[in-house]
Structure 1
Amino acid sequence: MGHTKFKLTGTCIAASTLVFSLHAYGQTTGTATPPGGGQRGEKTFSAEGTLTPTTVQSGIFIETPQTLTTPTTTGSRLGLTALETPASVEVLEGETIRQRGDQSITDAASRATGISQTSSASGNVFVSRGFAGNTSVMRLYDGTRQYVAGGTVTFPFDAWLADRVEILRGPASILFGEGAIGGAINTIPRKPTRDPISNEVRFAYGSQNTRRTAFGSGGAIDDRWSYRVDLSDNRSDGYVDRGQSRSLVAAGAIRFDATPNLKFTLSHDYGTQEPMAYFGIPLINGQISPSLKTANFNVADTYLRFKDQWTRFDTEWAASSTVTFRNSVYRIFSDRHWQDAEGYAYSPATRLITRSSFLGIDYTLDHVGNRFDATIKQPIASLANTLTVGFDVNRLKYARTRNDAGVAGAGVLTINPFNFVPGNFPTNVTIGELFTSQTSTRSFFAEDQLKLTSQLSLVGGLRFDRISYAKQDSRGIAADFSKQFNSTTGRLGVVYAVTPATSVYAQRSTAVDPLGGVVNTTLQQSQLDLTTGEQTEIGWKQLFDDGKGEFTLAAYTIKKKKLLIPDATNPLLSQQVGAQSSRGLEASLSYSPTSKIRFDINGAVLDARYDDFNETIGGVVFSRNGLTPPGVPEKMANAWVTWAFQPKWEAGFGMRYVGPRQINNANTGQAPSFTVADGSLRWAVKPGTTLALHFYNLFDRTYAQTLYSGNNQFILGRPRSVELSAQLRF
């Protein structure tokens, strides 16, 4: 068959030009240069029958939309574009994230299709496709996962570092191992490129005495060496009493191109946080009391301090036009400290609040590993085929120190919410080392794309994980033990390219979730099985109107078995019971009808339910069959419109809707739905200098961002706020 070319041209916001070059058959090449750098800035992609990535030529303002034609590393290791991947993959460009005013990865990801956050001061947590928590929605940094320790993941947190955020909805275990039934959120940092050296500085000031300072620099030093450096410092007085917070991130990477085909990159990222020590307010008569909107019931001497360090050495060798090797040696070190009171319950009889959950926690996590893979492009019986095989070996040491669970009689346990005196952390709470543990994982994975015809592809993957776990009780109370967990997961999908700009797909995948976090496994949990899940998904992805628009639609059903929940009578024990499922529809639309306006809209509806779930409370068994898991919204939607209304001016307006969430397994109450509106106004003062005004929660909506501590306690979202920033590029 002859070579046929399809060319779609479109425009991006405010004089940015978006050019697609699509080839129906034969070899294709293309380059993508995203603003702010990143590996994709100079990578050439070549694949039989694939679509080239988007090329963005920046004007006064840079507005880079997500694109179905950009290869991702989160949906597949084969270098496939979203159009070629039989899964729901979404890309949020870092520049777009920052232009919208999203300062954190959490805020940015919660604008993605079907993703909501349920975070607290102790870490970032997401909900996807009906499943919540860091053991069901995995967090990754540059493709490397961090094991969940203490139920929290605290890095990455600052959007300044991001070249892009890639989101895979649905099981991701074949790529990253256990802990991803609901999906995976992968932050790709800005990296060295061969572009000329460029620098950028940002200063911002806003409501709650918020101050932000950031610096970035990167480019080619000579014909072999290139670098990238990013710094970001954020401080605020917070929107509640005693709500001060601060954070600092520093990231650096240097790359050496030994030959055009052999590259070495050494990078180190450091992040430290002292987040706002706020865990919400209790409901009064089932409602949020307006008089408590700024209340903070934590102790006066509370502190939360998190430090994370990531060091990586990456090697990439294109041994030939058909064989590429990649290797990553990495070390992740985390050091986290808490001292606070996190639980508050209101008593109508006494009109007082009982303060509990006094936590004194220190822990360190030291994680080293090596990941290797090889990609081979070799026809099979004249059919184009791409195969990736690899392994990941890692070892993690974890030490946890905290107080005993019971604190009855310690300190001031009852407080008057309307005449509040914070008090201090109880002096009679004993804090000591609880346990140490070692977790070793050996994984083998393989993924393959076989092109049965020029339009029909078969994409499959398989992964085997062997996890060896050993735990030593430091108090001499519980018995030491060891356990080995084995799991095999897979995905099989088919993709049909109806046209070069339209594809439909179907897939079946499996996944496993850990028992509340592998590194925290208890003796009782070690006797149980891993939680398993299965998903069936079909979807449609479409470029339209000469490349000015993109549309996606997906339908899925997921079933998770062998659920693990805390025993209602003894939180130190767990119950592994029954099954939970969800089914839903997700859709997204990005469209630039003219060069001056762009719409980004997405929405999700789902039915999440317990299928076979009996909960024991006080020795009595209650059936929860047919009820909705707590904290899971079944309707979500996001919209953002950008309008370049004058040659040097750009306005943005967005809305985020999260539907009602159940507050407990019995579904006896709900957190109300909420809609939050944000906006931005940007002015290009001169080339390289931009002033921006960002508005948050424009209509000052009081809403529960997170359901916390038994879900009768709400962490409220940020009230109406404004920030003014200046950014210089030189």
Structure 2
Amino acid sequence: MALAQPAMAQAQDAQGTDASNAIIVIGKYETSLTTGATTGSRLGLTPLETPATVNVMDGDALRARGDFSIMDAVTRAPGVTNAGNPGNGGSALAMRGFSGQGSVLQLYDGLRLFPVADTITFPSDPWNVERIEVLSGPASVLYGQGALGGAVNIIPRQPNTQRLEAQGEAGYGSQNSWHVAAGAAGPLGEMLSFRADASYRRSDGYVDRGDSETLALSGALRFQPHDDVSLTLRDDYGDLHPTKYFGTPLIHSTLDTSIRERNYNVADAVMHWRDNRLALTLNWAVSDAITIANSAYYLTSKRKWRNLETYCWIGADGDCPNGIGYGTPGNIYRADNFGIVHDQKQYGDQGSIKISAPIGGHGKNDLLLGFDVSRVNLVYSHDFGSDYQEDEVNPKSFNPGLFLDTQGIAPRYHTTTDTYALYVEDRLAVTEQFSLVGGLRYEHNKVGRWNYVYNGAGTQITGEAPALNGGQDAYKSLDHATWRVGAVYQPTPSISLYGQYATAVDPLGTLTTYSASATQFQLTNATGNQIEMGAKAVFLDGHGSAAIAAYRIAKHNLFTQTRTNGAIEQVGERSSRGIEASLSLALPGGFGLEANGTLLDARFDSFSGNDGNTPPGVPEEAANVELRWSAADRFQARADLRYVGRRFSDNANRFRVPAYTVVDLSVTYAVTPNIGLDVRIYNLFDKDYALGTYSDEQWILGRPRSVDISIRARY
């Protein structure tokens, strides 16, 4: 368990106001292990009943802590660290020794998001999040390819059928950053209820020309003619203009703080991501024994990049240390003018039927049968044929210049990715203490790709130039089956001991942008497996909970790519083994403690010249600690510590990224039970650290010490 699911203070104030709406968020440690978590199993099992590591983080706690993004929030779970950069939408994660969109699956409300060129840009804002669930380890049996390291499920706020409620927030802080948000939910009659949320953020950023602006909108309408059946229509929209910052080059292979605020991108750089998701969900409890669920959805994503992306310091010999450029010693070499547009449309349907019934004298059995079908249409545009832009500038004072594009961004190819899957999941309660859980999934993917061809007059000719298999076949089919089996022993209802074996599969590269170059490698899928054992417990009458897990994962015949649009290499085998642990406690005097940590050994087992090395972007140590003190439902103080161990930015482990520790503080004063004033200090000790990397010696730095003040209200 990572961060316990909080609840609102249960007391009433002097005027008799129901403090279930109180602005102070306190801990309720039992519920995150004893409430059903849909990400670990579609059978409605609690984490105590699931033979895997499942962590639940409550949305109210994320907002009270002041997390700016989904990335900030989810990396507080045990073993989850940031692997994001501008090229992958800033959303890639590392878990259990594996990183990127091809190994850590991302879901929205239980439905898989398909990446394009390792990129996902939705969702981004934690304002409309009800909770985040994290399944560690292989998740292919539940969600398909691309889930060896784990799966993260963002579950949005839902309509409220009982009463009207509303929330709001307005804040301002360092770097001219401000945020305004509001949300409301409630009944619209006996059968209708709604939920609506809006959030707007903007900032000047902490580097030159580092401004950003985001808008997130969500709305849901639920029709519930009976307690046993509901139909929910929801729409979620995100419009992001993220910071156009690709990192800071090292000087003499170290960070020079005198250039910490320099942005080496061009002055007219562009990054713009716009996503919209429409979904219709049916939940129907036909009887006590039969439940039906179905979700149909349509997602559109439009993304644009237009940047000068790569920078390095030129050494005394006239070359960059990583060999990517040369020039005048002491200057910064700049290159890689990439203009890219993704026009992506994803639609599909996912349904299941759950049957619960006793089997002979062996106790209750829950069986789920389901299907998953989808299509992704992608038009990929770029300007890679333009004149190559490279120059050199003084590290501290320079004219950023303009983007060079002599050809223009235009469609270069389109792909269609069709997926259908059948899956089954079963739990047999052999006795009240012992249960068996298993699952099986068969998935078929078919990718078609066609190049856009231009004649001498610039006229576009489409649909006649297949790009796969050396131009002989326009389609590539991938078929795979994955399975898992586990056992759970509960000597008491509040203690679980478990073990699990699971398999997983990933496509070589991003499925939606599968290209002719991928066919040169020997296999079409990377396969993997994991064995895991662990224990979970709730104790102290529900005031404490703990979990520990040990695992080993191996992945065979996979691709590795140190950065977006970089060179692709194939690895024979890569593995990791490790331990994850977490603890949550309600202490006397209004204190609360939440802590988690992971130790792992990740390595290339078979990779020419790199055997035994640590894969890039993977820290082998990580920890989160939060100490909280609440006083009389009026005052709360939080101290949050985040530690990320050292990483490497290359396969050969020549370029090391040091470990870092960041401490955040926040204080909330409840002006009334429903209105709170927050003061938050981020990066208290003003640590200069690499949040991520974009090339071997190009660090994406984290936010310096900053102070934000906000007012939150709820009704």
Taking structure 2 as the reference length, the TM-score comes to 0.91
Contact 1:197 1:221 in 2 (8 A): no
User: Which of these residues, 626, 640, 648, is aligned with residue 662 of structure 1?
Assistant: 648
User: Which of these residues, 369, 375, 379, is aligned with residue 399 of structure 1?
Assistant: 379
- The alpha carbon displacement at 1:171 in A equals 0.6
Matched, 1:422 2:400: yes
Matched, 1:483 2:476: yes
2:24 is matched with which residue?
61
Matched, 1:116 2:81: yes
1:192 is matched with which residue?
159
The letter for the 2-side match of 1:398 is L
1:502 is matched with which residue?
495
User: Which of these residues, 330, 349, 360, is aligned with residue 351 of structure 1?
Assistant: 330
Distance 1:585 1:90, change over 3 A: same
1:681 is matched with which residue?
667
Contact 1:524 1:573 in 2 (8 A): no
1:627 is matched with which residue?
613
2:685 is matched with which residue?
699
1:92-111 correspondence to structure 2 within 5 Å: 92-111=57-76
Matched, 1:470 2:448: yes
Matched, 1:721 2:706: yes
CA distance in 2, matches of 1:542, 1:716: 38
2:240 is matched with which residue?
273
Matched, 1:367 2:346: yes
1:44 is matched with which residue?
none
CA distance in 2, matches of 1:567, 1:296: 22
The letter for the 2-side match of 1:603 is G
Matched, 1:219 2:186: yes
2:560 is matched with which residue?
565
2:49 is matched with which residue?
84
Q: Secondary structure at the match of 2:86?
A: coil
Q: Secondary structure at the match of 1:68?
A: helix
Q: Deviations over 1:700-727 (max 9, x none)?
A: 0000000212x32100000001111111
Contact 1:13 1:592 in 2 (8 A): no
CA distance in 2, matches of 1:303, 1:674: 30
Contact 2:39 2:153 in 1 (8 A): yes
- The alpha carbon displacement at 1:261 in A equals 1.4
User: Which of these residues, 130, 135, 143, is aligned with residue 102 of structure 2?
Assistant: 135
Q: Deviations over 1:248-284 (max 9, x none)?
A: 0110000011222121100000100000000111111
1:544 is matched with which residue?
539
The letter for the 1-side match of 2:704 is P
Matched, 1:245 2:204: no
1:28 is matched with which residue?
none
Contact 1:16 1:62 in 2 (8 A): no
Q: Deviations over 1:273-321 (max 9, x none)?
A: 0000001111111101111111100000011111000000011111111
- The alpha carbon displacement at 1:686 in A equals 1.0
Matched, 1:446 2:440: no
- The alpha carbon displacement at 1:572 in A equals 7.5
Structure 2 unpaired stretches of 5+: 12-18, 317-328, 455-464
Taking structure 1 as the reference length, the TM-score comes to 0.89
- The alpha carbon displacement at 1:475 in A equals 3.0
User: Which of these residues, 144, 159, 168, is aligned with residue 177 of structure 1?
Assistant: 144
The letter for the 2-side match of 1:724 is I
User: Which of these residues, 577, 600, 615, is aligned with residue 583 of structure 1?
Assistant: 577
Distance 1:345 1:71, change over 3 A: same
1:522-533 correspondence to structure 2 within 5 Å: 522-526=515-519, 528-533=523-528
Q: Secondary structure at the match of 1:208?
A: helix
- The alpha carbon displacement at 1:565 in A equals 2.9
CA distance in 2, matches of 1:701, 1:309: 36
CA distance in 1, matches of 2:382, 2:694: 20
CA distance in 2, matches of 1:485, 1:85: 30
CA distance in 1, matches of 2:85, 2:569: 25
305-314 or 521-530, which deviates more: 521-530
Distance 1:717 1:204, change over 3 A: same
- The alpha carbon displacement at 1:645 in A equals 3.5
Q: Secondary structure at the match of 1:414?
A: strand
The letter for the 1-side match of 2:501 is R
1:29 is matched with which residue?
none
The letter for the 2-side match of 1:61 is I
- The alpha carbon displacement at 1:138 in A equals 1.0
Q: Deviations over 1:60-104 (max 9, x none)?
A: 522345611110110000000000000000000000111111121
Contact 2:529 2:554 in 1 (8 A): yes
Q: Deviations over 1:517-547 (max 9, x none)?
A: 1011111314632111100000000111111
- The alpha carbon displacement at 1:689 in A equals 0.9
523-532 or 350-359, which deviates more: 523-532
1:388 is matched with which residue?
368
2:356 is matched with which residue?
377
Matched, 1:602 2:614: no
The letter for the 2-side match of 1:533 is G
Structure 1 unpaired stretches of 5+: 1-9, 18-55, 615-622
Contact 2:501 2:531 in 1 (8 A): yes
257-266 or 223-232, which deviates more: 257-266
Q: Secondary structure at the match of 2:516?
A: coil
CA distance in 1, matches of 2:186, 2:212: 33
Distance 1:645 1:258, change over 3 A: closer
Matched, 1:651 2:637: yes
The letter for the 2-side match of 1:586 is E
User: Which of these residues, 417, 428, 431, is aligned with residue 409 of structure 2?
Assistant: 431
CA distance in 2, matches of 1:97, 1:104: 9
1:122-161 correspondence to structure 2 within 5 Å: 122=87, 123=89, 124-161=91-128
Contact 2:496 2:536 in 1 (8 A): yes
Contact 2:634 2:673 in 1 (8 A): no
The letter for the 1-side match of 2:679 is L
Q: Deviations over 1:361-398 (max 9, x none)?
A: 11111011010001110111132100111001111100
Q: Deviations over 1:658-684 (max 9, x none)?
A: 001012111123111000000110011
- The alpha carbon displacement at 1:162 in A equals 0.4
Q: Deviations over 1:19-78 (max 9, x none)?
A: xxxxxxxxxxxxxxxxxxxxxxxxxxxxxxxxxxxxx95655223456111101100000
1:48 is matched with which residue?
none
Distance 1:12 1:593, change over 3 A: farther
The letter for the 2-side match of 1:451 is A
Aligned residues with identical type, % of pairs? 41
Matched, 1:234 2:229: no
CA distance in 2, matches of 1:518, 1:504: 37
Q: Secondary structure at the match of 1:174?
A: helix
Contact 1:691 1:724 in 2 (8 A): yes
- The alpha carbon displacement at 1:357 in A equals 1.7
The letter for the 2-side match of 1:386 is D
The letter for the 1-side match of 2:58 is E
CA distance in 1, matches of 2:27, 2:233: 28
CA distance in 2, matches of 1:65, 1:338: 43
Distance 1:322 1:595, change over 3 A: farther
